[in-house]
Amino acid sequence: MTAQLNPRGDVAVLVPAAGAGVRLGPGAPKALRPLAGEPLLVHAVRRVAAAPSVHTIVVAAPATEVEAVHAMLAPVAPVTVVPGGAERQASVAAALAAVPAGPEIVLVHDAARALTPPGLVESVAAAVRDGHDAVIPVLPVVDTVKEVDAAERVLGTVDRSALRAVQTPQGFRRSVLLAAHRSAGDALTDDAGLVEKQGIAVTCVPGSELALKITRPFDLSLAEHLLSTGV
C-alpha cells in the first residue's frame, strides 16, 4: 500500500535518505541524526509535505531502519518507506519503483537538504508542469574557481559567470526519469546528470540558500543556527 498525501496533487517526491553521513563524522546514518532535537529526515519531509502539489512521498531509508523510519515519519506525513541501496543512485531507483500510478511529475530530493522551503518544491514542480522535461534549482558560484593538476598547480581560472551550483529537489517528467535510470551506467551523484546523458535538455530555476546540503559538522551548526532564527 502506498500512502497518499494530497490526492489532487500531481507530484511524487523521492527522498534518498540511506546514506551513512561519513563526512559528518561517526554516528548514526545522517538522515537520522538530530537537528534542533528532531532527525534531519523529519525536517526534510515536513517541508516537502507542506508543498500543496505533493501527492506521494517515497523515502529510501537505511535497510535496517525501514520500520523505525516509518514509525518516525507517521506523525509528520503519510509516506512510503523502502530500503535504499549502496549508492545514492540505487536508493533513488528503489524509491522510483515504489511510486504508484498517478503522479506524472517526479522530484528527487536529498534528505540532507533538511531546510529546503516548500516554495522551492513548488517552483521546480511548476517548471516541469510548464513543459520542461528536467529542472534543477541552482545558485550562482560565489568563489573564484581554478582548475589544477595532480600536483595542485593552477592550470587556469574558470569563467565563474558560466557556472552554477546545483541543489535539489530536481524535477522530471516521470517517463524521462524512468528512462534515465533504466539506462544508467556509472553511478552519478545527480539525477539530472543521468538525464543529460540521454541528450535531454535540463532547465535551471533559481535555488535557495536554505536548500544547503548538510554534509560536514559546520553545515549542521549552520542549520541549527538558522532554525534558532525561526527559519
Closest CA to 53 of 203, 184, 171, 135: 171
C-alpha cell of 129?
Answer: 508542469
Residues contacting residue 83 through CB under 8 Å, at least 6 positions apart:
18, 60, 61, 62, 63, 66, 94
From the list 85, 169, 171, 193, which residue makes contact with ligand CTP (rule: CB under 6 A)? 85
CA Rg value for the chain: 17
Least distance (Å) from Mg ion to the CB of residue 205?
24
In Å, how far are 168, 183, 221 from 180, measured between CA atoms? 17, 5, 36
Binding-site partner at residue 110 among ligand CTP, Mg ion, none, CB < 5 to 8 Å by type:
ligand CTP
- 98 contacts 82 by C-beta, under 8 angstroms: yes
Contact call for residue 17 and ligand CTP (CB under 6 A): yes
Contact pattern from residue 8 through residue 27 relative to Mg ion, giving x for each residue in contact according to CB under 5 A and a dash for the rest: -----------x--------
Alpha helix (H) residue ranges in 27-173: 40-49, 66-73, 88-97, 118-129
* Residue 54, burial from CB neighbour count under 10 angstroms (0-12, 13-18, 19+): buried
Contact call for residue 193 and ligand CTP (CB under 6 A): no
Contact call for residue 193 and Mg ion (CB under 5 A): no
* Residue 209, burial from CB neighbour count under 10 angstroms (0-12, 13-18, 19+): exposed
Contact call for residue 107 and ligand CTP (CB under 6 A): no
Q: Judged by CB, which is closer to ligand CTP: 84, or 103?
A: 84
Contact call for residue 112 and ligand CTP (CB under 6 A): yes
Least distance (Å) from ligand CTP to the CB of residue 146?
24
From the list 76, 99, 111, 120, which residue makes contact with ligand CTP (rule: CB under 6 A)? 111
Nearest residue to Mg ion, by Cβ distance, number only: 19
From the list 5, 9, 12, 30, which residue makes contact with ligand CTP (rule: CB under 6 A)? 30
User: Which parts of this chain interact with ligand CTP (CB under 6 A)?
Assistant: 16-23, 30-31, 60, 84-88, 91, 110-112, 213, 215
